[in-house]
């Protein structure tokens, strides 16, 4: 099997070129679900842990849900001599593959970057104490304030993704948060699970706190600007993630005025996301529509606060592939000689508009990045990525309909 350990095999060469390798990233994958020993052997051969690891290491796993049921996930976590977090997903890509029934492993290892992983108690009747405790545990393990938190949150209808991100932002003191909500291949996402050291749960969150010599970069791509309507709308009535009125009129009136009523009635809202501006100096973020109510309200995949400004977009198959390929080309242009790697997530809503061409986005990114740098790209139930603000600082945001990247 193909895999990418470019940095591992070229570390001394990079030193002679004056490149500082802060984090070395090694990626591996297997498509073997049923035969546990064969799957473990494939991953072990690709990672070559005896010769690849530096002082501190952590793992990130993404997989089709059946890899948990078959015991492959638990066995691979047993193989790894360090903590690993992960999640189920619809499909994934890494160096050498873009598939649906695949398990990927990304190992981050470094001499001067520290990692601390932790898992929460289940989110049952609430989530705030669990988030407080899981962050405090990770920071205590780390022994210092982290510079980055990589978070995998549960996909649940009980709590909005924004609420979870805002709470983690609060308890961490605004440290950059990058990550995702879980997902899977089912219609109601009932197999979505978080992974921590071989154990899995539908209701927990797992995080990695990162400190030391690290300067991560963040990239986001959503709808092409040309796909948005020029008409700006103001949310005048909403309830959490339910959008009721814009510009003082029912949302259904707006759909009718721009000729979208038929598309909405036929369930075509996956291709009709919003861009929302919080009017706080940060860049707008994408918001997907996941359902409509009998009253004509839009149930969105994130908070829709009153007073925020909206633009209506249109997302089609060509847009998904174009934006992802463009982002991948941008990352590849940085060159593997800079010692960079990318952790990436793309929204399930983007996949929905691909139709039968399920792997088109993953294949586009794999084609552009596989030879250039280690990377992992998985489908997400909601994306978490910092955005820039007017004062030059980063603000943590929950996104929909977007592809995001954290570059180490």
Q: Give pLDDT tens digits for 315-348.
A: 789 999 999 999 999 999 875 556 799 999 999 9
CB 206 within 8 A of CB 116: no
Q: How far apart are CA 304 and CA 97, in angstroms?
A: 37
- How buried is 4 (Cβ within 10 angstroms: 0-12 exposed, 13-18 middle, 19+ buried)? buried
State mean pLDDT over 143-167. 92
Q: What is the mean pLDDT of residues 278-286?
A: 83
Give 32 or 227, the one with higher predicted confidence: 32
Confidence of residue 99 (pLDDT cuts 50, 70, 90): very high
State the pLDDT confidence band at 272, using cuts at 50, 70 and 90: low
Higher-confidence residue of 81 and 275: namely 81
Separation of alpha carbons 229 and 11, rounded Å: 48
The predicted pLDDT at position 228 comes to 59
**Residue 278 pLDDT more than 70?**
yes
Instruction: Tell whether the model's pLDDT for residue 267 goes beyond 80.
Output: no
pLDDT of residue 240: 86
**Token reading at 202:** 């539908």
What's the mean pLDDT in 37-64?
97
- Record the tokens describing residue 94, joined without a space: 């890494």
The DSSP secondary-structure symbol of 338 reads G
Three-point CA angle 12, 13, 16, nearest 5°: 90
Task: Decide if pLDDT at 1 tops 80.
Answer: no
pLDDT at 285: 84
pTM of the model: 0.88
Q: What is the pLDDT of residue 233?
A: 83
Grouping H, G, I as helix, E, B as strand and the rest as coil, residue 41 is helix
Place of tokens 């070229």: 10
- Give the neighbor-by-neighbor strand order of the sheet with 113-119: 113-119, 206-212, 148-153, 177-181, 383-388, 394-399
Task: Taking residues 348-367, report their average pLDDT.
Answer: 94
Q: Which two tokens stand for residue 114?
A: 């520290």
**What is the H or E stretch that residue 351 is in?**
helix 348-352
Confidence tier at 198 by pLDDT (50, 70, 90): very high
């Amino acid at each position: 099997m193909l895999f990418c350990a470019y940095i591992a095999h070229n570390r001394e060469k990079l030193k002679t070129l004056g490149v500082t390798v802060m984090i070395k990233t090694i990626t591996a994958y297997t498509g073997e679900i049923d035969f546990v020993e064969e799957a473990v052997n494939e991953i072990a051969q690709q990672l070559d842990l005896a010769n690849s690891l530096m002082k501190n290491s952590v793992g990130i796993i993404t997989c089709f849900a059946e890899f948990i049921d078959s015991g492959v996930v638990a066995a691979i976590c047993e193989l790894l001599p360090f903590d690993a977090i992960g999640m189920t997903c619809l499909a994934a890509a890494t160096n050498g593959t873009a598939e649906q029934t695949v398990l990927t492993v990304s190992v981050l290892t470094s001499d001067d970057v520290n990692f601390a992983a932790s898992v929460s108690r289940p989110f049952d009747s609430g989530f705030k104490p669990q988030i407080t405790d899981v962050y405090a545990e990770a920071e205590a393990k780390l022994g210092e304030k982290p510079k980055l938190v990589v978070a995998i949150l549960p996909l649940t209808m009980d709590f909005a993704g924004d609420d979870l991100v805002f709470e983690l932002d609060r308890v961490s003191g605004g440290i950059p948060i990058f990550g995702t909500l879980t997902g899977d291949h089912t219609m109601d996402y009932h197999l979505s699970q978080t992974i921590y050291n071989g154990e899995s749960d539908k209701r927990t969150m797992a995080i990695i706190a990162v400190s030391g010599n690290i300067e991560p970069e963040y990239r986001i791509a959503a709808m092409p600007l040309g796909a948005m309507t020029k008409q700006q709308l103001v949310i005048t009535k909403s309830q959490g993630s339910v959008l009721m009125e814009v510009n003082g009129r029912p949302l259904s009136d707006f759909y009718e005025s721009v000729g979208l009523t038929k598309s909405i009635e036929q369930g075509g809202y996956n291709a009709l996301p919003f861009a929302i501006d919080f009017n706080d100096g940060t860049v707008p973020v994408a918001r997907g529509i996941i359902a409509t109510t009998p009253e004509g309200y839009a149930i969105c995949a994130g908070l829709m606060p009153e007073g925020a400004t909206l633009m209506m977009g249109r997302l089609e198959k060509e847009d998904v592939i174009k934006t992802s390929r463009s982002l991948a080309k941008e990352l590849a242009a940085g060159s593997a000689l800079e010692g960079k790697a990318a952790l990436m997530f793309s929204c399930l809503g983007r996949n929905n508009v691909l139709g039968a061409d399920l792997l088109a986005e993953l294949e586009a990114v794999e084609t552009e990045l596989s030879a250039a740098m280690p990377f992992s790209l998985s489908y997400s139930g909601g994306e978490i990525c910092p955005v820039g603000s007017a004062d030059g600082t980063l603000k943590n945001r929950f996104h929909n309909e977007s592809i995001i990247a954290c570059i180490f």
